[in-house]
Amino acid sequence: MTDFLEVKDLTMQFGGLTAVDSLSFKVAHGSIHGLIGPNGAGKTTTFNMISGFYKPTEGQVLLRGEDISGLQMHEVARRGVVRTFQHSTLFAELTVLENALVGTHMPFRPNIFAAIIGWDSEDRSGAEARAKEALEFFGLDHVMQERAGDLSHGHQRALGMAVAYASHPDVILLDEPFTGMNPEETRQMMDLMERLKADGITILIVEHDMQAIMGLCDTITCMSFGKFLAEGGPQEIRNHPAVIEAYLGGARHVA
């Protein structure tokens, strides 16, 4: 496994607050990598910097050795790094299928002239096939024509992942994908994550459900108050004194 995605001395300041403080870690190609830490540790902020939503105050994000920090979100996405959002962020007014179709924007780039004349039927059917495939993968094919905003919370989380998956990403960043899912749904989703991994997709995941994290991840990075705390396999992290301390000492979420 080679260094594929690397975060180097990443720092983000909001006014006087340092949300992420020279954080460094490496994500190996084809692995499932967990990023954990108590509430407010800076996990989402880290995702925002990797995905190009924020420009880091300092530090670099390296993808296959290329510095992608400071690129816009769509430019990062076009390099194969696609994210989901912590709070179900969907096109609530559009149907489930249309949501997934937007996800196919990169592999099937719309062309306005072809669209007017009608020379894009191949692309359209290709995009539709891919969208349906992504929905099927996440078990959403039976709600294809429903308004995304009307879905149950768990289905909305799944749709967020389906939109990301539809774009054929190399890396998926998942921000708390299992919130709002019952244990059964969570278990099914974990199986799907394993299948994505088997397909060669690298997954970077933020999640408070420790059972899921421990069951899924090859490597886990733990952070607290914006700083790197510990890294290792599930077994190591579970028993790491600093991690236990961070979660027990004044944090709301307990592993």
Partner 1 sequence: MPKFLIWIAALAALIALPHGLSFSQQEILVFLTINVLLVASYRLLTLTGEWSLGHVVIMGVGAYSSALLTKKLGVYVPISMLLGGVIAALIAVLLSFPLFRMKGFYFLIGSFAAGEIIRLLWKRFRDPFGGAKGIKGIDPMPDFSVGFYQFDFFEPTSYYYFAGIIVAVCLWILWRIEKSPVGLTFHAVHWQDKLAQASGVNVRAYRTLAFAIASGFAGISGALLAHYIGTINPNAFDIDLMVYVLTWAIVGGTATFYGPILGCVVLTVINEIVLRELGLEQMRPLIYGAIMILSILFLPNGLESIVQKFTKRRAAEGAPERRPAE
Ligand X SMILES: Nc1ncnc2c1ncn2[C@@H]1O[C@H](COP(=O)(O)OP(=O)(O)OP(=O)(O)O)[C@@H](O)[C@H]1O
DSSP string, 188-213: HHHHHHHHHHHTT-EEEEE-S-HHHH
Q: Which stretch binds ligand X (CB under 6 A): 41-49, 160-168, 214-222, 230-238?
A: 41-49
Our measurement of the distance from residue 150's CA atom to the centroid of its chain's CA atoms, rounded to an integer in Å, reads 23
Q: What three-state secondary structure class fits 2?
A: coil
Q: Strand 58-63 vs strand 66-67: parallel, antiparallel, or unpaired?
A: antiparallel
Closest by Cα among 169, 241, 231, 239 to 203: 169
Buried b (16+ CB within 10 A) or exposed e, 164-174: bbbbebbbbbb
Would you give the end-to-end CA distance of the chain in angstroms?
A: 29
Q: Where are the alpha helices (DSSP H) in 92-182?
A: 96-103, 112-117, 121-137, 153-165
Residue 90 interacts with, from ligand X, Mg ion, partner 1, none (CB under 5-8 Å by kind): partner 1
Q: Which stretch binds partner 1 (CB under 8 A): 21-29, 87-95, 185-193, 245-253?
A: 87-95
Q: Which stretch binds ligand X (CB under 6 A): 23-31, 34-42, 102-110, 164-172?
A: 34-42
* 133 touches partner 1 (CB under 8 A): no
Q: Which stretch binds Mg ion (CB under 5 A): 79-87, 95-103, 131-139, 186-194?
A: 79-87
Question: Residues 166-205 vs partner 1: string with x where CB under 8 A?
Answer: -x--------------------------------------
- Sole binder of partner 1 in the list 62, 94, 214, 244 (CB under 8 A): 94
Closest by Cα among 227, 228, 234 to 207: 234
Spatial distance between the Cα atoms of 109 and 124, rounded to a whole number of angstroms: 10
Q: Which helix (H) or strand (E) holds 48?
A: helix 43-50
Q: Which stretch binds partner 1 (CB under 8 A): 4-12, 28-36, 163-171, 184-192?
A: 163-171
Q: Which helix (H) or strand (E) holds 4?
A: strand 3-14
Task: Work out how close the CB of 77 gets to partner 1 at its nearest, in angstroms, rounded to a whole number.
Answer: 4
- Sole binder of ligand X in the list 31, 34, 37, 181 (CB under 6 A): 37
Task: Work out how close the CB of 20 gets to ligand X at its nearest, in angstroms, rounded to a whole number.
Answer: 7
Read off the tokens for 67.
Answer: 């510095």
* 129 touches partner 1 (CB under 8 A): no
* 180 touches ligand X (CB under 6 A): no
* 110 touches partner 1 (CB under 8 A): yes
Contacts to ligand X by CB under 6 A: 14, 17, 19, 37, 39-45, 86
Interaction site with Mg ion (CB under 5 A): 44, 86
Interface residues toward partner 1, by CB under 8 A: 51, 53, 72-74, 77-78, 82-85, 89-95, 98, 101-103, 105-106, 108, 110-112, 115-116, 118, 120, 123-124, 127, 145, 163-164, 167
